[in-house]
A and B are shown apart, each in its own frame.
Chain A
Amino acid sequence: MESEKLVEKLLLAAAASAIFIVFFIIVFMLRESLPVFLEYGADFVFGMTWKPAEASFGILPMIVATLLVSGLALMVATPLGVACAIFLAEYAPPLVRNVVKPVVEMLVGIPSVIIGFFGLMIIVPFLRTHFGGYGLCLLAGGLTLAIMTLPHIVSISEDAIRAVPRSYREASLALGATKWTTVRKVILPSAKSGILAAIILGLGRAVGETMAVLMVVGNPETPWIPTSLLDPIRPLTSTIILEIEYALWGSMHERSLFAIGVVLFAIVAILNLIAVRVIKRGVMA
């Protein structure tokens, strides 16, 4: 009985440590970034100019860049991913499914630097030759990120589609519906909340992704809001990693990078909250 109590205590400590780590990271980031928010307030989030040397810390172009590149990635990955999920769940023979699904899920395990490398060596030159410009641009970032979010969308959507009760399928087919009609009118509406959650989680992943994006979007010295798909962009994540190296320790510049981290964290947290809500609503309905 004594050892039972001990095990329980140890497990509790392990569980508590996870919470403490998250808690300390948040406290640390808030403490480091607080002076920025106090001094610049809304001008930090909505300011248009980022020139740390001139004490200009406006990150709106980066927020927009992050949202655009992530949104673009989803616009490419969602139709492709949902179509793939429908194929796997409804049309593929078991043999094909048992090969394709693990392969798609393996995509998750590929280190992002490798996907970034692929983007840099294949997508960027392709865009440069066919559309002009440097190739390092919003579109290259969107396509690279699409590759990274695709497996999440396929995997979660496929689970959602397979969770639709078989009896719905049978009822529809027995009424003389074709398979495609059944998918469109019964299965997709029933799996809607799961698919939506997959897309939102994919968006969260895209917003936070650093390395692969950094490698292919160009990262101009002075960020601006892109006006074309072929404009280079500077997302939030790139800025932190590019400038942390030379920002003076304790300077407003360094603190503003932490503040960017807080903004990033807030965006991802909000997306996750929305995803959880969407999933819950799906379960209740």
Chain B
Amino acid sequence: MVKTGDKIETRNLNVYYGNFHALKNVSLKIPERKVTALIGPSGCGKTTFLRCINRMIELTDGARVSGEVLLDGMNIYDKDVDVIALRRRIGMVFQQPNPFPMSIYENVAYGPKIHGVRDKRKLDEIVKESLERAALWDEVKDKLHENALKLSGGQQQRLCIARALAVEPEVILFDEPCASLDPISTAKIEALIRELSRDYTIVIVTHNMHQAARVSDYTAFFMLGELIECGSTPQIFEKPRDKRTEAYITGRFG
């Protein structure tokens, strides 16, 4: 059993892309209702790690996974795990905002609809609530039926967050969610992530160390496919134990 307080735990997680060993024996605990940031130089395996948590890694041709990922103590790589149900519990927000080419309303209602919600009033309610939680409602409430692609990049990303929230996940994975956004939009998303961490377990991959320092409670540092160090965010940034962590956060490489 996972000790109370940890939502996700990986044990000896390995990923291979063909012959390339992309993730090496990573064992990491991710606490419930906290923000955990994954940092490290490009190609260090942090996004690969993230995509293991909702089994999106399986969409990559030639990727092999070994080891365990426990969600509330259940190994999500067990044979009888329903990947559909798993992905309902673990939402994901991507690097590039990727709303569907449909209306704002339809984007948010997509998840509930495919999971069987038919009632129009119920859908309206879910859409409103999800947009409110994603801090987007006030900006779009008068144009719910306009095409989502007309929104600005930052709005699109918040729409994607609303879309993920609409299926009521327990965990939300963010894969560099601000990589393509301007500083003001970035600040809004960061504030939103802080807010959401009261109710959701959040894992965020980021290239931006300042962002990790601002939004996260815990930080894990990856390098060349290995987990080098993890701990509370202030500890990692102020008193890193490993020389490589120190070198990275002080900007000597990356």
Residues of chain A whose beta carbon lies under 8 Å from any beta carbon of chain B: 94, 165, 167-178, 181, 185-186, 189-190, 285
Contacts and interface: CB of A to CB of B under 8 A. Distances in A.
A190 B87 CA distance: 23
Contacts of B100: 168, 171-172, 186, 190
A168 B96 CA distance: 11
Given A175-B114, A177-B114, A165 B85 contact: no
B94 interface: yes
A167 B114 contact: no
A173 B56 contact: yes
A165 B114 contact: no
Contacts of A189: 101-102
B190 to A, nearest CB: 21
A165 B56 CA distance: 16
B56 A174 contact: yes
A285 B59 CA distance: 28
Interface of B: 54, 56, 59, 61, 84-88, 91-92, 94, 96, 98-102, 110-111, 114-115, 147, 160, 163-164, 167
B174 to A, nearest CB: 12
A170 B98 contact: yes
25 contacts: A167-B94, A167-B96, A168-B98, A169-B59, A170-B56, A170-B59, A170-B94, A171-B94, A171-B100, A173-B56, A173-B87, A174-B56, A174-B91, A174-B92, A175-B87, A175-B111, A175-B114, A175-B163, A176-B84, A176-B86, A176-B114, A177-B114, A178-B84, A186-B100, A190-B100
A172 B110 contact: yes
A69 B54 CA distance: 50
Nearest to B147: A285
Given A175-B167, A176-B111, A285 B101 contact: yes
A175 B98 contact: no
Nearest to B54: A174
A285 B56 CA distance: 29
A83 to B, nearest CB: 21
Given A167-B94, A190-B101, 13 more contacts: A170-B56, A171-B160, A174-B87, A174-B91, A174-B94, A175-B88, A175-B110, A175-B163, A176-B87, A176-B114, A177-B84, A177-B111, A181-B114
A173 B84 CA distance: 8
Contacts of B59: 169-170, 173
B98 A171 contact: yes
Closest 3 CB pairs of A and B: A167-B98, A176-B87, A176-B88
Nearest to A169: B59
Contacts of B102: 189
A186 B113 CA distance: 13
Contacts of A178: 84
Instruction: Name which of B86, B92, B96 has the most chain A CB atoms within 10 A of its CB.
Output: B92
Contacts of A168: 98, 100-101
A178 B160 CA distance: 19
A119 B91 CA distance: 54
Contacts of B160: 171
Contacts of B85: 176
Nearest to A177: B114
B146 to A, nearest CB: 13
A158 B180 CA distance: 30
Contacts of B54: 174
A285 B148 CA distance: 11
A190 B101 CA distance: 7
B243 to A, nearest CB: 37
A285 B103 CA distance: 12
Nearest to B149: A285
A80 B59 CA distance: 27
